[in-house]
Amino acid sequence: MSKIILKDVRLSFPSLFHKAVFDGKETKFEATFLIDKAGNAAKIKEIKAAIDAMIKDDLKGAKLPPDKICMKDGDSIEYAGYAGTMSLKASSTKRPIIIDRDKSPLTEDDNKFYAGCYVNASLELWAQNNNYGKRINCNLLGVQFMKDGEPFADGVKGSIDDFEAFTDEDVDFI
């Protein structure tokens, strides 16, 4: 296993406070982190080296297709904000640590985390080699809010300004 600390990366598809739901079933807490290729070349190189070492040592040099590795080239993914990045998907069966800049705990009601905000993340790469196959996965350990960013389409926030005030007299009752 190899621990990774990401700084100033964009958050995508966050399921931090509740487990994601797939085909009607709860799965895991998860998020995807977008690492800017231009600004974080050294960190990307470090992660790739850790992945390569796990493939060599833990998976005995197995040839893994891209869909079996948790880090992917964002240029090959057709989602807003992914171009020019490497995407790293992480998940956990246990809820991750979720904190603000001052390390105070955050709740879902704080409305800090959305697709497009910037965060720091604590992650752990690990090699899977079992009956379910061979892969390089990433555990989601913790996420720290860093700053707001332009929301992605899946992370648009609602606003009180989206609504008009009205009274019972303004509503037609049946």
Q: Give the type of residue at 166.
A: F
Question: What contacts 60, CB < 8 A, 6 or more positions away?
Answer: none
Q: What share of the chain is helix, strand, coil (3-state, %, to 5)?
A: 20, 40, 40
**Where in the chain are the domains?**
2-155
pTM: 0.86
Residues of the chain with pLDDT under 70: 154-158, 173-174
Residue 166, pLDDT score: 78
Residue 44, pLDDT score: 97
Fold held by 2-155 = OB fold (Dihydrolipoamide Acetyltransferase, E2P) (2.40.50)
Q: How far apart are CA 96 and CA 140, in angstroms?
A: 6
Provide the β-strand partners of residue 5: 122
pLDDT tens for 116-154 read 999 999 999 999 999 999 999 999 999 999 999 999 875
Provide the β-strand partners of residue 132: none
